[in-house]
Amino acid sequence: MGLSRLGLIVMGLVCATSAFAQAPRGNAVWSTLGTNQAQEGLLLEHQYADINGIRMHYVTQGAGEPIIFLHGFPEYWGIWKKQLEDLGRDHQVIAPDMRGYNLSSKPADIGQYHIEHLVEDIRALADHLRINKFTLVSQDWGALVGWSFVLRHPQYVSRFVTINMTHPALLNRDLREDATQQQASQYMLLFRSPEAEPFIMADDYAFGRQGMFEAARQLGAQISAEDEAEMVTAWKQPGAITGGLNYYRAAEIGPPDGQGSLGGSNLLDGLAPWQLQVDLPVLFIHGEMDPYLLPSGQVGLEDYVHDLTFRRIPDADHSVTLEKPALVNQFLREFMLEN
């Protein structure tokens, strides 16, 4: 499929916030960025952990029951600012920049973004923080990593929250069999191609400016001019865009490509059928206007998840945490109180 056609398909993608930069060098296991930084009601500690062969940047705040937040593409820890501010009042909240993003390391080898490495990053971060059990909150690509973590290391997770992402087994099914989801996921083929970087960076990052900022604002997202400028500057950091795109490439994720691939992904490679079952409480938050994860992906979810809560938001799409942050916070608190 040509770049122009794929570009039309994905131009409206609501990608949410992002900031990218290179991780600083050093030998310390972790370090702070000077003093704690107060930002929009947040008092965050910026720290680093040398784990699993990379340096991972993360922010943390508060005390109490821990919650780890995983962002998607092309986001960074700041997508969770409103959740960190609210839940950080009475919980220990941790939001990493995932491998390839913002202040975390960006390995050049695509193989370093295989799901096994991404899952191990989260396990190693929890061990670094001496956290034995935590609530895991995730969206978009972060949710694919989150699901994969829950399937491989359920003993770490007390509750799991997925925003706009179904179980990988159901995503694989729909990428292979559902024509409507296949059409909605054509952007994945672009993101795996060498054309992805020039497409995203063209016209001073028009893809993000139009498909992210304006689309999200139309649905109620409060993105300041300062935040927008910060995100655009961050996209321009060397290697940042490629780091996020390598998630798609390493997972071989997408619909049939017309060149022999039947569609799906390798996210479940190495797992036995019994390992696909989830026994811990799961909250699924879905923006019903999301044009990229369709409702068909929820069909059959109860066959995999035995304690499932749905919360649907009719007037939100892909960037739910930006568009409806107060409602997301409400759903998170209700779910944690009840489970």
Specify the 3-state DSSP secondary structure of 188. Answer: helix
The pLDDT value recorded for residue 273 is 96
* Chain position carrying tokens 């369709």: 294
pTM of the model: 0.89
Q: One-letter amino acid identity for 266?
A: N
- H or E segment and range at residue 251: helix 240-251
Among 263, 257, 261, 248, residue whose Cα is nearest residue 178: 263
Alpha-carbon distance of 201 to 141, in angstroms, equals 20
Alpha-carbon distance of 82 to 95, in angstroms, equals 12
The pLDDT value recorded for residue 15 is 37
Strands, E, within 52-153: which ranges?
A: 54-61, 66-70, 92-96, 134-139
* Chain position carrying tokens 């028009």: 206
Alpha-carbon distance of 40 to 297, in angstroms, equals 36
The pLDDT value recorded for residue 221 is 83
Instruction: Give the single-character DSSP code of 36.
Output: -
Give residue limits of the domains in the chain.
Answer: 3-338
* Burial state string for 12-40 with b = 16 or more CB within 10 A and e = fewer than 16: bbbbbbbbbbebeeeeeebbeeeeeeeee
SS3 content of the chain, % helix, strand, coil (to 5): 45, 20, 40
Q: One-letter amino acid identity for 128?
A: H
- What six digits make up the tokens of 335? 């779910």
- From the first residue on, what is the mean pLDDT of each consecutive set of 10 residues in the chain (339 residues)? 40 35 32 39 88 97 97 89 95 97 94 98 99 98 99 98 98 98 97 95 86 81 79 78 96 95 96 98 96 94 98 92 93 98
The answer regarding whether domain 3-338 maps to CATH 3.40.50.2020 reads no
DSSP code per residue over 266-306: STTTT--GGGG-B-S-EEEEEETT-SSS-GGGGTTGGGTBS
- What six digits make up the tokens of 121? 């990053």
Number of neighbours of residue 232 by Cβ within 10 angstroms: 16
C-alpha 63: how far from its chain's center?
A: 24
The pLDDT value recorded for residue 13 is 38
The answer to whether 231 touches 20, Cβ cutoff 8 Å, is no
Among 11, 10, 17, residue whose Cα is nearest residue 185: 10
The pLDDT value recorded for residue 232 is 75
Q: What are phi and psi of 147, to 5 degrees?
A: -55, -45
First to last CA, the chain: 46
